[in-house]
Amino acid sequence: MTYLSGLLALCLLSWGLSLPADALAMGFFFWRGQLVQLSGALLMVLLAALLLMATRPRWLEQRLGGLDRLYPLHKACGIGAAGLVLLHWWLAASPRWLSQWGWLSSAAHHAHQGGPWRSLAVTLGELACYGMLLLVVISLVKALPYDRFRQIHKLGGVLGLMAGSHGLLLLAAPLRWTPFGLLCQLACLLAMAAALWSLLGRIGLARRFAGELVSLSHPASEVVELAIRLPRAFARDYRPGQFALLTLDPKEGAHPFTILHQDRATGLTHFAIKGVGDHTRQLLTACPVGQAVWAEGPYGTFTLPAEAQTPQLWVAGGIGITPFFAWLEALARQGPRRRHTRLIYCVERPEEVLHGERLQQLAQQSGVVLQIHICQQAGPLAPAAVLGQSSPQCWFCGPPGLATRLALWLPAHRLRYERFAFR
């Protein structure tokens, strides 16, 4: 966010520096033209950032704190871009409207300079504008199922190409080689390159590995555990707590699932998946052993925190136990035992506990105090009772409602959580 605000500020500053000395004495058309260029440039910076994020490069994902942090920022850029699109469009059309309302003489309207590409560029810009507004509305309303939303979202690449060409063709000639113009052109080119990358199906390709579903079991109620054989290269950079984008059905596309257990020697990678929607419920019943699977990743920064002198509290809700399970396995393997860590694992009913015995064993080996909280018997977890007067560093993974309850009791810098949704 800081980098993005810095880029937008740089754009604003370079625009300010490109203004002529007598700018304040200029009239309506000068300022309207300048603001069209400025809103267009800010829009292209946001578009370049959001399209770059959509290509999920590893360096950016790690810097932003994982894909579950990157996607909300991508969404925020989309909302900002929609606002700027409206402003840009309104500024561009304002002379026509003002003269229609009789507030501006039509004679004052300057003839447009520009080459033969001008009308094409204007049409591309208009279409991109409507497309972007539609895409943002679809994303915010959340009426469509996730897979349909994801398919429609691919249109973003086409819109990025259209908006980038519009920007490059309609950047005012006097501004073209100023720092402002160069920044604007760079943003257009970056947005177009990222859009092309996406349209050519190159996103994540370097980190996508073909594997085979080796076994399947049901370790807890409504949970299926898949063991998938993947090439060793997949686990080269793996850190416990990370997740993969798993494609089990090419028509359905990739879904994120935390790596429960990774065996470097055999390449077997385990995932515990809870049936919550169409795709995951289908996995509970129809997933033939031997089928081909694709795993992209690993991604994420929700990884084992270092031992500290102050107490650490780990809270898992339901299937949110998966990253903690991977952490405990790593701790039990590496030693030494932890002294100040407590893991509270909340489930609704006893049959929902995932690998209860193994968890107890891992907790004992690693020195972590494990408390399984069954809501049906003990009521919902009350953060006040758990935290008491202390304000420990807390890691959370589970339903958003529980995260919100914890956030009421803990200062933001003391709560680190993995979001189990990207939308």
Ligand X SMILES: Cc1cc2nc3c(=O)[nH]c(=O)nc-3n(C[C@H](O)[C@H](O)[C@H](O)COP(=O)(O)OP(=O)(O)OC[C@H]3O[C@@H](n4cnc5c(N)ncnc54)[C@H](O)[C@@H]3O)c2cc1C
Residues that bind ligand X (CB under 6 A): 68, 145-146, 243, 253-258, 272-274, 276-280, 300, 319, 322, 418, 420-423
Q: Between residues 118 and 218, which has the closer beta carbon with respect to ligand X?
A: 218
Contact (CB, 8 A) for 341 and 314? yes
DSSP 57: -
Q: How far apart are CA 161 and CA 234, in angstroms?
A: 32
Q: Between residues 392 and 398, which has the closer beta carbon with respect to ligand X?
A: 398
* Closest of 276, 241, 246, 277 to residue 259, by C-alpha: 241
Q: Between residues 131 and 256, which has the closer beta carbon with respect to ligand X?
A: 256
What separation in angstroms does the CA of 407 have from each of 310, 382, 395, 396, 415?
A: 19, 12, 11, 10, 7
Min dist. Cβ of residue 418 to ligand X (A): 6
Min dist. Cβ of residue 272 to ligand X (A): 6
| Nearest residue to ligand X, scored by beta-carbon proximity | 277
Bridge partners of 299, per DSSP, are: 243
Contact (CB, 8 A) for 77 and 8? no
Task: List, in order, residues 6 or more apart from 380 with CB less than 8 Å away.
Answer: none
Q: How far apart are CA 264 and CA 234, in angstroms?
A: 10
Bridge partners of 209, per DSSP, are: 295
Min dist. Cβ of residue 68 to ligand X (A): 5
Min dist. Cβ of residue 66 to ligand X (A): 7
Min dist. Cβ of residue 319 to ligand X (A): 4
Min dist. Cβ of residue 258 to ligand X (A): 3
Min dist. Cβ of residue 369 to ligand X (A): 23
Q: Between residues 126 and 222, which has the closer beta carbon with respect to ligand X?
A: 222
Min dist. Cβ of residue 245 to ligand X (A): 7
Q: Between residues 246 and 313, which has the closer beta carbon with respect to ligand X?
A: 246
Token pair of 8 as six digits:
């937008």
Alpha helices for 309-368 (secondary structure H):
322-334, 356-366
Q: Between residues 71 and 197, which has the closer beta carbon with respect to ligand X?
A: 71
Contact (CB, 8 A) for 344 and 386? yes
Q: Between residues 95 and 323, which has the closer beta carbon with respect to ligand X?
A: 323
Q: Residue 294: which region, alpha, beta or left (left: phi > 0; alpha: psi -120 to 50)?
A: beta
What separation in angstroms does the CA of 311 have from each of 55, 134, 363, 409?
A: 38, 48, 16, 16
Beta strands, E only, 137-207: none
Q: Between residues 178 and 282, which has the closer beta carbon with respect to ligand X?
A: 282
